[in-house]
Structure 1
Amino acid sequence: MRLLKGISIIFGFTFLGEFLSLNLNLFIPGSIVGLLLLFGALQFKIIKLEAVGDVAMAFQKNMAFLFVPLVVNLTSQSRLLIKYGIQLLLIIVVSTTITYFSVAKVSERLDHE
């Protein structure tokens, strides 16, 4: 019963985020809005971590399985990958490098404090 409650809470926030994103014409995807709302609810102790913790860990452990639809979709879009493959690869490398160095700088600053 506890897992069902946790799944219901997570999906409820996801659907709420989708609803808000569509109806308020937000430029942020609804799933991200839902996660931000869930994060806020956890921070302000509206929802206890114990209510969603087990489900979140299960999702995290099975994250590779959750990306299967993305990979299947990518294979069906092979023409786009061939056309824009180099550009996509360059974007991925540059954004990963920027993220890596940004996290390193923030960690370095926090470590010195």
Structure 2
Amino acid sequence: MAGSSSAKSSGAFRTIGELSKELGLPQHRLRYWETRFSQLRPLQRAGQRRYYRPEDVELVRRIDRLLNREGYTIRGVQKVLAGGSETPVAAATSATPLRRIRDRLADALAADAR
């Protein structure tokens, strides 16, 4: 391969391998997200090879942020993508149980370390 994905322009198409490496996400997760989020439809060429357009890359980044940083569930992200907006209330509502569990674990680990 002539260059890495970081050497590509922002408007260049990316293969699933390049996108996976760039975002630190396994390829199987990207393929799974294609089945869960109808908006994510990379071009598929010969041999089912996937090519992610710049708008696909941005959508994957948004899905990753919502799921892995803001605590949304897959269902919650589906609703956000269908509605086209994110609200802090929606993020807090869907993430609250997970945050409580995370906070309890962090407290338990901190107490255990003392």
Q: TM-score, normalised by structure 1?
A: 0.28
Please identify the structure whose Cα radius of gyration is greater: 1
Higher relative helix content: 1
Q: TM-score, normalised by structure 2?
A: 0.28
